[in-house]
Structure 1
Amino acid sequence: MQTTKDYVKLFFKQNKFVAFVSALVFIILSTTYSIVSWIMQVIFDYMAGNSTYSFESILLMLGGYLFVAASLFMVQRSVYPRFLEKAMNQYKEAVIKKLFKKSYSDFLITNSGTYLSVLTNDCERILETYLKNIFEFIQNIIMVVSSLTLMLYYNSLLTIIAIVIAMIPMVCSLLTARSIATREEQVSKTNESYVSLTKDILNGISVIKSFKVENEAISRYQNKSMQLEHTKKMREQTFTVVSACGTIAYMLTQFGVMVIGAWMIHEHIGTMTAGMILAFINLMNGILQPINALPRIYGGMSGAKKLITKMSDYMSNAKRRYG
């Protein structure tokens, strides 16, 4: 019997090289974020008359950066969509093959609407919240590491202060992220029954009209639709709470670093310049954005894995599950 891990491996079957190149592009692009901050520092220090770089050197930096970034985006355009396409095709192919291996009696135990949901809504959620988030997760981690490295180079004391300020909201955000996976599973299950009922109503519309039970059918449909939309609303509320925690961390740390940095320059503590403070604040985005995004990404990926597990359970031997 295939496990969740086996189905996850299908995403990378004969697709590892494309996945590796895609991940490499995301990694390099995430490091360029720190380079932008450094270039900003050079430009503002040049404006203040404190830079050791000439105007021509700065122009060369900008031109080189733009060329590299454009080249990376061209490579990303080629490999990243190709990975997603092959990964989902292989996953869907495995699911449909597994479905046809089930006996007819086993197939009838589970409502066909469930299989429709697995092959449509669940696949879309897996693509958006698992496959795409793999690369977004990598990008955010590298962004944190590269930003933190340059921040420590600028001023270790200010870096430590900034991290301490951001810790409490970050912990709150991580704790609330776990509920995203639960909400995703609830939406998936509710969608199954909704799709199943909709299919039954459409297939049996002649019978419904014959027995003149249109009002009952409409009432059942409305109730199921309201239940589904309510579950989706709860999911969005959970996403909002998780995002709000990250946003609070962003604002608190951003203003905190700005005020403390201004105080350090005013009191001549360390060798910080106005350009460095500006770069430092921009680098904070390279930490705060992941703080805001990682809990959502983690929750989404956990929820998607639950959908894969659910599918694996449906595709397993029905007699073993119910008998």
Structure 2
Amino acid sequence: MKTLWQYTLKYKYQFLFRITTISLVALASICFDFLMGFIVDIFASGDSSKFATITIASISLIIIMFLTEYIDGLVMSSYIKNTVNYLRTDIFSKVINKDIKDFSLDNSGKYISILYNDIKIIEDSFFNNLFQVISCIISFAISLVVLFSISPSIVIFISIFGVLGFIIPNALSRKLVVQKNEYSENLEQVTSVTKDLFSGFEVIKGFNISNKINEIFNTASNNVETSKKKYSVLESIIRGFSLSFSVTIYLGVLLLGGYLMYKKSISVGTAIIIIQLSTHIVGPVKLSISLINQIRSVSLIADKIENILEDTKDSLENTKLDNFTNSIEIRNLDFSYNEEQKALNNINLNINKNKKYAIVGESGSGKSTLIKLLMRYYSDYEGKIIIDNNDLKNIYSSDLYKNISMIQQNVFMFDDSIKENIRLYSNHTDDEIISSCERSGLSKLIDRLPKGINSLVGENGNKLSGGEKQRIAIARALINNTQILILDESTSALDNETAYNLEKSLLNLDNLTLITVTHKLIKSILINYDEIIVMKNGKIIEKGNFNDLLDEKGYFYSLYTIQNDNLA
């Protein structure tokens, strides 16, 4: 909860201003109690000379109460907006800055649930309730002091039962914490399940498994509602205890006040003031018992959020790389996803500027893993990756990804225009975008669309073909003048003609270092690469140009022959 308290005071001036407005609202309400007592005493005494004064005072107080409530509402809404938005943005920033390995440890639905479901719980049960507790304390304290000046015996009675009213509900607070955390975890689960099921909509329909999917969703949804029910029942028990003690206090005050009035120790108006003040004591006691337990109930959720906010690793970045000018050297590189087997084993490789490289091999040979390390998706490898005499781990991220880009088989598209999907919300001009479209072979598409580069692509580019999405991905890289472009099976889902044209256009770019991971062993394409790197079981077993590798009649020759015989 420590980090959550720090966020509470992020906007400390708004926080203090809210406490001030709460105090003014409490004072105005207590003034109204005294006004009621004075009105009763005036009517009881028949002193008509005070009618005008009390009328003006009443109207003034009503105006003051309206203004204080209005200002308090404005301050509260502003504080909650700023604080919750800052917390959510901070969490999102921490998540988006995770490396690929750490991010993939959890389902992305968990992060979505934290950003919306858990933050909503925090807002309702912590931030809002916190101010209500402060309001209760202020109202309770002012009323108690005023009441003590009228009757100390009533205050003593209230204090005894008020303390007892906190003991039993407090014993249930730990159970409430567990139940609320279970509710939060079930919300995560149903969010993750829903996201995954919608993502696999075509598979669900294609394999006719809608009934089974309905069962899976129904189970996840039922778990959420069951845990919410358990939490609500426990909260009701706590509210029941707080109500019982509150009624006891209220009746006790009523009896003591009536007894004092019977003994002529106080006037009728004073008795009414005592009764009204007791509501400002009983109400806060009743409410604060429930609110404090609700605040405590989010402690495990707060811990979950704190784990994300505090999950930082020491950065090794301390080196600039303005432009890639020479080569990438890979020395004695080893990497494994787990302790059982190495994904890469003793990789040694030189990649020179503006040369074209193809990495081939069977599935699981380590091709994609190698380029993921080049992209620094993982940094817990052994050996060295050197770019222009700079250790990859030390290069600033902004400089690294300015020089190197990767296009994957599945291109992610924002539900926005072609223009924004190419420039990725940067400040590139329309002329620069059109130029990158020409270089990536998008010109025909742009000319065909009524709105040109301002045409919308749909959710994840569903208005575009696979080849068009790939060309937009290439345009993204080219518009940033990337020096090194990596294709990870980018053309594997495309027809041969589209794949050939796309890859050929990149091979013809002189000022580009191209690294292509492919399983399509097509002579007319491979013959244009300066070097073909052949991998097997996490090792590089052959290197050379297309003709040399065929002449060696080794592993590449075997792969090429088998694939092309099958095609024949």
For residues 130-209 of structure 1, what are the structure 2 equivalents within 5 Å?
130-209=126-205
Name the amino acid aligned to 1:201: L
SS at match of 1:48: helix
Residue number in structure 2 paired with 1:312: 306
1:10 to 1:169, Cα distance in 2 relative to 1, 3 A: closer
Q: Is the 8 A contact 1:165 1:256 kept in 2?
A: no
Alpha-carbon distance change, 9 to 52 in structure 1, aligned in 2, over 3 angstroms:
farther
Within 2, Cα distance between the matches of 1:147 and 1:53? 29
Q: Please, what TM-score do these two structures have when normalized by structure 2?
A: 0.52
Residues 296, 53 of structure 1: CA spacing in aligned structure 2 closer, same or farther, 3 A cutoff? farther
Q: Secondary structure at the match of 1:110?
A: coil
1:76 CA drift (Å): 2.1
Instruction: Please give the alpha-carbon distance, in whole angstroms, between the structure 1 residues aligned to 2:19 and 2:65.
Output: 15
Equivalent in the alignment of 2:241: 245
Describe the shift of the 1:216–1:127 C-alpha distance in structure 2 as closer, same or farther (beyond 3 A). Answer: same
Check the 8 A contact 2:242/2:290 in 1, yes or no.
no
Question: Partner amino acid for 2:206?
Answer: S
- Give the C-alpha shift of residue 308 in structure 1: 2.5
Deviation of 1:5 after TM superposition, in Å, equals: 3.3
- The answer to which of 55-64 and 38-47 deviates more is 55-64
1:9: which partner in 2?
6
Please point out which of 269, 287, 290 is paired with 1:275.
Answer: 269
In structure 2, relative to structure 1, the CA distance for the partners of 1:283 and 1:218 (3 Å cut) is same
Shift of 1:66: 1.9
Contact residue 109 and residue 318 of structure 1 kept, 8 A: no
Q: Map 1:218-297; keep pairs closer than 5 Å.
A: 218-268=214-264, 271-297=265-291
Amino acid at match of 2:235: F
Deviations 1:69-90 (A, max 9, x none): 2232332243221111111121
Query: Which residue type is aligned with residue 127 of structure 2?
Result: L
**Number of residue pairs matched?**
316
Q: 1:26 to 1:221 in 2, by over 3 A?
A: same
User: Cα distance 1:315–1:152, how it changes in 2: closer, same or farther (>3 A)?
Assistant: closer
**Counterpart selection for 2:18 from 19, 22, 25:** 22
* Identity, % of aligned positions: 19
Deviates more, 1:61-70 or 1:148-157: 61-70
Q: Which has the higher helix share?
A: 1
Q: TM-score, normalised by structure 1?
A: 0.88
Q: Is the 8 A contact 1:44 1:274 kept in 2?
A: yes
**Cα displacement (A) at 1:11:** 4.4
CA displacement, residues 232-259 of structure 1 (integer Å, 9 cap, x when unaligned): 0011112211111121122222222222
Whether the aligned pair in 2 keeps the contact of 1:106 and 1:317 (CA below 8 Å) is no
2:67 corresponds to which of 71, 91, 99: 71
2:103 is matched with which residue? 107
Cα pair distance change 1:311/1:194, threshold 3 Å: same
Q: Secondary structure at the match of 1:300?
A: helix
* Cα displacement (A) at 1:317: 4.5
- 1:287 corresponds to which letter in structure 2? I
| One-letter amino acid of the counterpart of residue 211, structure 2 | N
Q: Is the 8 A contact 2:180 2:297 kept in 1?
A: yes
Q: Distance in 1 between matches of 2:225 and 2:78?
A: 33
- What SS does the corresponding residue of 1:54 show, helix, strand or coil? helix
Query: Corresponding residue for 2:121?
Result: 125
Instruction: Find the residue that maps to 2:297 and give its secondary structure.
Output: helix
* Structure 1 counterpart of 2:294: 300
* Partners of 2:312 and 2:7 in 1: CA distance: 23
Mark the structure with the bigger radius of gyration: 2
1:109-162 per-residue CA deviation (whole Å, 9 max, x = no partner) reads 011111011011111111111111222111110110011111111111233234
CA distance in 2, matches of 1:88, 1:309: 17
CA distance in 2, matches of 1:55, 1:94: 58
| Residues 1:91 and 1:292: Cα distance change in structure 2 (over 3 Å) | same
Secondary structure at the aligned position of 1:194 is classed as: helix
- 1:50 offset after TM fit, Å? 8.2
Displacement of 1:165 in angstroms is 4.2
Q: Which moved more, 1:249-258 or 1:193-202?
A: 249-258
Check whether the contact 1:194–1:228 (CA below 8 A) recurs between aligned residues. yes
Q: What's the CA shift for 1:228?
A: 0.9
